[in-house]
């Protein structure tokens, strides 16, 4: 079964430069972690590290670090089971995190699948750079290897999703809730599976006493700032709120030193800042003030705005590009009633793993998929939103003879 010509004409191929839908649909699958698939991932890693512009972007350096051989060796399954690729994986990539399409694609490449990846039609310098580097990397590989990965752009229209989904053995949807609903209107073959990664929100938690005695407060503030402002605070794992654990006096003292360091770190990072973001933050502040008692923290400009609200009961994306709400809690147990199914990442400082495990065991919240130290909120892993992607992108063959 091929793609109808009237559909194929609406699909733009972004990489590889010589790629085609026909070649990818006919491309061979591979054993998970086959040498030629490892070589593809390594070629992408080398292309990123060889480019000065890419090396200046922390998110691309992080991608290259993830793709190093030592890291990939840890991902390879060691359970002794016989695994096979699913087949053709159709990926719908998000528009808010430029590197995510490559993480999704490369994991599926490692799983042995053939891949069609739709990237956002939203233009960005980072996406343009990544596509150029990917083309350079794929050009160094044999034709049958590079055919396993096809990056495309097309209008978000149901007939095109229908045509591509009809070929899929697994579909991976990254994006907002509306994107998931829209793509799900396109049926999959009966045997196919689907992974969805819809809208999520994230927060940070700091133990006030631990912050007060921390020897590396400037570094921790820098890590928090990068977790938040990279991708304009639009990533699902970027913290939107900060919960302080401790008594009122300890929290007040910690806030007085923490936020000035964060403000300095944001200024030093030199991330672009649009005037519209300042207006969005002002509106968000006014809406919060209208809803109940709040305290707006003084900052030098609208690159950082913080609103303390004792009545914070639901984590919401009020604004971005450096907008936070904060609240004091006495204990982690105070978080449990607030946790919703859409909570993804907690960036944690000064709270032990034992404390978190005890809280999770006692409350068993619907949400919270990962708890990480400051500086790791945006670090991608093969376990995401509670799903082991490598397991989900392969199938187990039971051999009982």
What predicted TM-score, i.e. pTM, was given to this entire model? 0.91
pLDDT score of 1: 66
Instruction: Using DSSP bridges, classify how beta strands 12-15 and 149-153 pair: parallel, antiparallel or unpaired.
Output: antiparallel
**Range name among 33-42, 302-311, 325-334 with the lowest pLDDT average:** 302-311
- What span, in angstroms and rounded, lies between the C-alpha atoms of 71 and 91? 23
Q: Span 323-352, mean pLDDT?
A: 95
Judge whether 95 and 378 are in contact, CB under 8 Å: no
- Give per-residue pLDDT as tens, 26-84: 999 999 999 999 999 999 999 999 999 999 998 999 999 999 999 999 888 888 889 99
Question: 226 to each of 292, 378, 384, how far by Cα in Å?
Answer: 30, 9, 20
Rg for the chain, CA atoms, rounded: 22
- Give per-residue pLDDT as tens, 259-306: 999 999 999 987 777 788 889 999 999 999 988 889 999 888 888 999
- What span, in angstroms and rounded, lies between the C-alpha atoms of 1 and 140? 30
pLDDT score of 277: 87
- Give per-residue pLDDT as tens, 168-200: 999 999 988 999 999 999 999 999 999 999 999
What tokens appear for 171 in the block? Answer: 């579909």
- What span, in angstroms and rounded, lies between the C-alpha atoms of 306 and 283? 13
């Amino acid at each position: 079964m091929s793609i109808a010509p009237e559909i194929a004409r609406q699909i733009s191929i972004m990489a590889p430069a010589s790629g085609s839908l026909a070649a990818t649909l006919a491309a061979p699958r591979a054993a998970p972690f086959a040498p030629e698939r490892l070589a593809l991932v390594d070629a992408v890693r080398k292309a990123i590290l060889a480019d000065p512009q890419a090396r200046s972007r922390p998110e691309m350096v992080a991608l290259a670090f993830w793709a190093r051989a030592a890291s990939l060796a840890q991902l390879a399954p060691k359970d002794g089971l016989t695994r096979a690729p699913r087949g053709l994986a159709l990926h719908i990539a998000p528009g808010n995190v430029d590197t995510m399409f490559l993480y999704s694609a490369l994991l599926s490449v490692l799983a042995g699948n053939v891949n069609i990846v739709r990237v956002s039609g939203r233009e960005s310098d980072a996406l343009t750079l990544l596509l150029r580097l990917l083309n350079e990397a794929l050009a160094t590989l044999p034709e049958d290897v590079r055919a396993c990965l096809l990056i495309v752009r097309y209008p978000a229209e149901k007939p095109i999703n229908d045509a591509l989904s009809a070929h899929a053995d697994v579909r991976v949807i990254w994006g907002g809730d509306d994107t998931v609903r829209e793509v799900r209107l396109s049926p999959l073959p009966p045997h196919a599976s689907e992974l969805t990664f819809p809208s999520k929100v994230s927060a940070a938690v700091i133990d006030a006493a631990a912050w007060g005695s921390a020897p590396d407060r400037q570094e921790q503030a820098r890590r928090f700032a990068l977790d938040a402002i990279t991708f304009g605070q639009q990533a699902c794992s970027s913290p939107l709120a900060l919960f302080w654990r401790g008594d009122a006096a300890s929290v007040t003292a910690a806030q007085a030193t923490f936020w000035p360091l964060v403000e300095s770190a944001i200024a030093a990072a030199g991330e672009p800042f649009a005037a519209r973001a300042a207006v969005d933050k002002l509106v968000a502040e006014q809406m919060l003030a209208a809803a109940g008692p709040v305290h707006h923290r003084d900052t030098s400009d609208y690159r950082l705005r913080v609103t303390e609200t004792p009545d914070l009961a639901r984590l919401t994306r009020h604004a971005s590009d450096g907008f936070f709400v904060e609240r004091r809690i006495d204990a982690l147990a105070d978080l449990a009633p607030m946790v919703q199914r859409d909570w993804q990442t907690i960036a944690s400082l000064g709270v032990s793993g034992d404390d978190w495990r005890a809280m999770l065991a006692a409350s068993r919240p619907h949400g919270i998929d990962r708890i990480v130290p400051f500086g790791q909120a945006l670090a991608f892993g093969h376990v995401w939103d509670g799903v082991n992607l490598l397991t989900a992108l392969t199938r187990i063959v039971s051999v009982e003879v």
